[in-house]
Structure 1
Protein backbone atom coordinates (compact mmCIF):
# COMPACT_ATOMS: atom_id res chain seq x y z
CA UNK A 1 0.00 0.00 0.00
CA UNK A 2 1.47 3.35 -1.04
CA UNK A 3 0.15 6.59 0.36
CA UNK A 4 0.89 10.15 -0.68
CA UNK A 5 0.18 11.71 2.71
CA UNK A 6 0.79 10.30 6.15
CA UNK A 7 0.29 11.79 9.59
CA UNK A 8 3.08 11.20 12.06
CA UNK A 9 5.94 11.11 9.55
CA UNK A 10 8.98 10.32 11.69
CA UNK A 11 11.65 11.96 9.58
CA UNK A 12 11.18 14.34 6.66
CA UNK A 13 14.09 14.84 4.27
CA UNK A 14 14.79 18.40 3.23
CA UNK A 15 14.63 19.20 -0.48
CA UNK A 16 18.42 19.61 -0.47
CA UNK A 17 18.94 16.22 1.19
CA UNK A 18 16.58 14.54 -1.29
CA UNK A 19 18.42 16.15 -4.22
CA UNK A 20 21.77 15.07 -2.77
CA UNK A 21 20.56 11.48 -2.41
CA UNK A 22 19.10 11.44 -5.93
CA UNK A 23 22.43 12.71 -7.30
CA UNK A 24 24.25 9.93 -5.45
CA UNK A 25 21.82 7.31 -6.81
CA UNK A 26 22.33 8.71 -10.32
CA UNK A 27 26.10 8.29 -9.87
CA UNK A 28 25.57 4.49 -9.77
CA UNK A 29 22.90 3.79 -12.44
CA UNK A 30 23.68 0.05 -12.41
CA UNK A 31 24.17 -0.32 -8.67
CA UNK A 32 22.65 0.56 -5.34
CA UNK A 33 23.67 3.21 -2.84
CA UNK A 34 23.70 2.89 0.94
CA UNK A 35 23.40 5.96 3.13
CA UNK A 36 22.74 6.28 6.84
CA UNK A 37 20.58 9.15 8.06
CA UNK A 38 22.07 9.98 11.44
CA UNK A 39 21.68 12.49 14.22
CA UNK A 40 24.77 14.54 15.07
CA UNK A 41 25.01 14.20 18.85
CA UNK A 42 26.94 17.48 19.16
CA UNK A 43 24.28 19.73 17.65
CA UNK A 44 21.22 17.52 17.03
CA UNK A 45 21.25 18.09 13.27
CA UNK A 46 20.29 15.34 10.82
CA UNK A 47 23.15 14.33 8.51
CA UNK A 48 23.69 11.93 5.62
CA UNK A 49 26.56 9.46 5.88
CA UNK A 50 27.43 7.72 2.60
CA UNK A 51 28.45 4.14 3.38
CA UNK A 52 28.11 2.82 -0.19
CA UNK A 53 30.58 0.07 -1.05
CA UNK A 54 33.58 1.13 -3.10
CA UNK A 55 32.24 -0.83 -6.06
CA UNK A 56 28.46 -1.13 -5.69
CA UNK A 57 27.08 -4.14 -7.52
CA UNK A 58 23.70 -4.34 -9.19
CA UNK A 59 20.97 -5.59 -6.85
CA UNK A 60 23.28 -5.54 -3.84
CA UNK A 61 23.40 -2.64 -1.42
CA UNK A 62 26.63 -3.48 0.39
CA UNK A 63 27.75 -0.97 2.96
CA UNK A 64 30.20 -0.35 5.78
CA UNK A 65 28.53 -2.36 8.54
CA UNK A 66 30.84 -0.99 11.24
CA UNK A 67 29.36 2.50 10.77
CA UNK A 68 25.85 1.06 10.85
CA UNK A 69 26.47 -0.76 14.14
CA UNK A 70 28.20 2.28 15.63
CA UNK A 71 25.15 4.46 15.03
CA UNK A 72 22.68 1.78 16.16
CA UNK A 73 24.66 1.37 19.39
CA UNK A 74 24.81 5.14 19.96
CA UNK A 75 21.11 5.58 19.20
CA UNK A 76 21.91 8.06 16.42
CA UNK A 77 20.66 6.01 13.43
CA UNK A 78 17.42 7.56 12.20
CA UNK A 79 16.95 5.93 8.79
CA UNK A 80 18.56 3.89 6.03
CA UNK A 81 18.64 5.02 2.40
CA UNK A 82 19.22 2.87 -0.63
CA UNK A 83 18.49 3.00 -4.32
CA UNK A 84 17.50 0.69 -7.10
CA UNK A 85 19.30 0.65 -10.46
CA UNK A 86 17.94 2.82 -13.28
CA UNK A 87 16.50 -0.22 -15.06
CA UNK A 88 14.47 -1.06 -11.93
CA UNK A 89 11.35 0.40 -10.38
CA UNK A 90 10.67 2.82 -7.58
CA UNK A 91 9.13 0.18 -5.34
CA UNK A 92 10.41 -1.83 -2.42
CA UNK A 93 11.29 -5.38 -3.44
CA UNK A 94 10.57 -8.58 -1.54
CA UNK A 95 14.21 -8.54 -0.41
CA UNK A 96 13.72 -5.01 0.89
CA UNK A 97 10.60 -6.01 2.83
CA UNK A 98 12.42 -9.02 4.28
CA UNK A 99 14.91 -6.60 5.86
CA UNK A 100 12.48 -3.79 6.63
CA UNK A 101 10.16 -5.97 8.71
CA UNK A 102 12.77 -6.06 11.49
CA UNK A 103 13.74 -2.38 11.35
CA UNK A 104 12.38 0.23 13.71
CA UNK A 105 14.29 2.87 11.71
CA UNK A 106 12.85 4.41 8.57
CA UNK A 107 13.86 3.39 5.05
CA UNK A 108 14.11 5.68 2.02
CA UNK A 109 14.24 4.37 -1.54
CA UNK A 110 15.47 6.32 -4.55
CA UNK A 111 15.62 5.19 -8.18
CA UNK A 112 18.73 5.98 -10.23
CA UNK A 113 17.84 8.20 -13.17
CA UNK A 114 14.39 9.09 -11.79
CA UNK A 115 13.20 12.38 -13.30
CA UNK A 116 9.99 12.43 -11.24
CA UNK A 117 11.68 14.03 -8.19
CA UNK A 118 10.16 11.56 -5.75
CA UNK A 119 11.19 8.82 -3.37
CA UNK A 120 9.53 6.21 -1.18
CA UNK A 121 9.58 6.28 2.61
CA UNK A 122 8.83 3.50 5.07
CA UNK A 123 8.68 4.79 8.64
CA UNK A 124 9.91 1.62 10.34
CA UNK A 125 8.12 -1.06 12.29
CA UNK A 126 6.14 -0.08 15.36
CA UNK A 127 6.75 -3.06 17.62
CA UNK A 128 3.96 -1.91 19.95
CA UNK A 129 1.37 -2.51 17.22
CA UNK A 130 -0.88 -5.53 17.67
CA UNK A 131 -1.23 -5.98 13.90
CA UNK A 132 2.46 -6.65 13.15
CA UNK A 133 2.87 -9.85 11.14
CA UNK A 134 6.29 -11.14 10.04
CA UNK A 135 7.01 -11.62 6.34
CA UNK A 136 4.28 -9.24 5.24
CA UNK A 137 4.34 -6.34 2.80
CA UNK A 138 1.62 -4.79 4.96
CA UNK A 139 3.89 -4.21 7.96
CA UNK A 140 3.55 -0.45 7.64
CA UNK A 141 2.35 1.97 4.98
CA UNK A 142 4.83 3.17 2.38
CA UNK A 143 4.72 6.85 1.59
CA UNK A 144 5.51 8.36 -1.82
CA UNK A 145 7.04 11.82 -1.37
CA UNK A 146 7.75 14.51 -3.96
CA UNK A 147 10.49 17.07 -3.46
Structure 2
Protein backbone atom coordinates (compact mmCIF):
# COMPACT_ATOMS: atom_id res chain seq x y z
CA UNK A 1 0.00 0.00 0.00
CA UNK A 2 1.35 3.43 -0.87
CA UNK A 3 0.88 6.76 0.84
CA UNK A 4 -0.77 8.81 -1.89
CA UNK A 5 -0.61 12.08 0.07
CA UNK A 6 3.17 11.75 0.50
CA UNK A 7 3.49 11.11 -3.23
CA UNK A 8 1.43 14.23 -3.98
CA UNK A 9 3.49 16.38 -1.58
CA UNK A 10 6.79 15.15 -3.03
CA UNK A 11 5.60 15.73 -6.59
CA UNK A 12 4.49 19.30 -5.83
CA UNK A 13 7.73 20.14 -4.04
CA UNK A 14 9.91 18.62 -6.79
CA UNK A 15 7.97 20.32 -9.59
CA UNK A 16 8.17 23.66 -7.77
CA UNK A 17 11.92 23.36 -7.29
CA UNK A 18 12.31 22.49 -10.98
CA UNK A 19 10.22 25.59 -11.83
CA UNK A 20 7.58 23.70 -13.83
CA UNK A 21 4.53 25.80 -14.73
CA UNK A 22 2.22 22.77 -14.49
CA UNK A 23 2.40 19.16 -13.41
CA UNK A 24 0.13 16.16 -13.83
CA UNK A 25 -0.51 13.43 -11.27
CA UNK A 26 -3.13 10.76 -10.54
CA UNK A 27 -4.82 11.32 -7.18
CA UNK A 28 -7.91 10.30 -5.21
CA UNK A 29 -10.90 12.36 -4.03
CA UNK A 30 -9.01 13.12 -0.80
CA UNK A 31 -6.13 14.51 -2.89
CA UNK A 32 -8.55 16.78 -4.74
CA UNK A 33 -9.88 18.15 -1.43
CA UNK A 34 -6.26 18.68 -0.32
CA UNK A 35 -5.52 20.62 -3.52
CA UNK A 36 -8.56 22.82 -2.87
CA UNK A 37 -6.99 23.78 0.47
CA UNK A 38 -3.65 24.57 -1.21
CA UNK A 39 -5.43 26.76 -3.76
CA UNK A 40 -7.39 28.54 -1.04
CA UNK A 41 -4.12 29.22 0.82
CA UNK A 42 -2.41 30.63 -2.26
CA UNK A 43 0.19 27.87 -2.65
CA UNK A 44 -1.00 26.80 -6.12
CA UNK A 45 -2.77 28.77 -8.85
CA UNK A 46 -5.33 26.09 -9.57
CA UNK A 47 -6.00 22.60 -10.89
CA UNK A 48 -8.21 20.83 -13.43
CA UNK A 49 -9.60 17.31 -13.60
CA UNK A 50 -12.10 15.36 -15.64
CA UNK A 51 -15.55 14.58 -14.22
CA UNK A 52 -16.83 12.17 -12.98
CA UNK A 53 -14.23 11.46 -10.31
CA UNK A 54 -13.80 7.72 -9.95
CA UNK A 55 -11.31 6.01 -7.62
CA UNK A 56 -8.31 7.90 -9.05
CA UNK A 57 -8.27 10.73 -11.54
CA UNK A 58 -5.54 12.53 -13.46
CA UNK A 59 -5.17 16.14 -12.29
CA UNK A 60 -3.29 19.00 -13.96
CA UNK A 61 -1.91 21.33 -11.25
CA UNK A 62 -0.88 24.91 -12.05
CA UNK A 63 2.00 25.85 -9.75
CA UNK A 64 2.44 29.35 -8.35
CA UNK A 65 5.62 31.44 -8.18
CA UNK A 66 6.55 34.81 -6.72
CA UNK A 67 9.56 37.03 -7.31
CA UNK A 68 11.33 35.27 -4.42
CA UNK A 69 10.73 31.79 -5.89
CA UNK A 70 8.13 29.03 -5.61
CA UNK A 71 5.09 29.63 -3.42
CA UNK A 72 5.73 26.16 -1.92
CA UNK A 73 9.20 26.48 -0.40
CA UNK A 74 8.94 23.41 1.79
CA UNK A 75 6.18 20.89 2.40
CA UNK A 76 6.70 18.13 4.95
CA UNK A 77 4.47 15.20 5.85
CA UNK A 78 3.98 14.96 9.62
CA UNK A 79 1.43 12.17 10.01
CA UNK A 80 1.96 8.90 8.19
CA UNK A 81 -0.12 5.72 7.87
CA UNK A 82 2.24 3.97 10.31
CA UNK A 83 2.37 6.78 12.86
CA UNK A 84 -0.57 9.14 13.03
CA UNK A 85 -0.02 12.57 14.61
CA UNK A 86 -2.94 14.42 16.17
CA UNK A 87 -3.32 17.91 17.61
CA UNK A 88 -6.09 19.06 19.89
CA UNK A 89 -7.54 22.55 19.80
CA UNK A 90 -5.30 23.48 22.76
CA UNK A 91 -2.19 22.35 20.83
CA UNK A 92 -3.08 24.75 17.99
CA UNK A 93 -3.22 27.91 20.11
CA UNK A 94 0.30 29.06 19.18
CA UNK A 95 1.27 29.76 15.55
CA UNK A 96 3.80 27.43 13.90
CA UNK A 97 7.29 28.93 13.37
CA UNK A 98 6.05 32.38 14.44
CA UNK A 99 3.43 32.34 11.68
CA UNK A 100 5.91 31.54 8.89
CA UNK A 101 4.61 27.98 8.44
CA UNK A 102 1.11 26.54 8.38
CA UNK A 103 -0.19 23.16 9.44
CA UNK A 104 -2.80 21.42 7.35
CA UNK A 105 -5.15 19.24 9.38
CA UNK A 106 -7.85 16.70 8.62
CA UNK A 107 -10.67 17.59 11.01
CA UNK A 108 -14.33 16.76 11.50
CA UNK A 109 -15.05 20.02 9.63
CA UNK A 110 -12.91 19.00 6.61
CA UNK A 111 -9.31 19.71 5.65
CA UNK A 112 -8.27 23.01 7.23
CA UNK A 113 -5.25 25.20 7.94
CA UNK A 114 -4.25 25.54 11.60
CA UNK A 115 -5.61 29.10 11.84
CA UNK A 116 -8.97 27.97 10.43
CA UNK A 117 -9.12 25.10 12.93
CA UNK A 118 -8.39 27.57 15.76
CA UNK A 119 -11.29 29.77 14.62
CA UNK A 120 -13.65 26.78 14.50
CA UNK A 121 -12.35 25.35 17.79
CA UNK A 122 -11.43 21.91 16.42
CA UNK A 123 -8.35 19.72 16.33
CA UNK A 124 -7.52 16.73 14.16
CA UNK A 125 -4.87 14.74 12.34
CA UNK A 126 -1.87 16.89 11.39
CA UNK A 127 -1.25 16.02 7.73
CA UNK A 128 1.66 18.30 6.88
CA UNK A 129 3.51 21.55 7.49
CA UNK A 130 3.92 23.99 4.60
CA UNK A 131 5.82 27.23 4.11
Normalised by the size of structure 1, how large is the TM-score?
Answer: 0.29
User: Which one has the bigger strand percentage?
Assistant: 2
User: Which one has the bigger helix percentage?
Assistant: 2
Normalised by the size of structure 2, how large is the TM-score?
Answer: 0.32
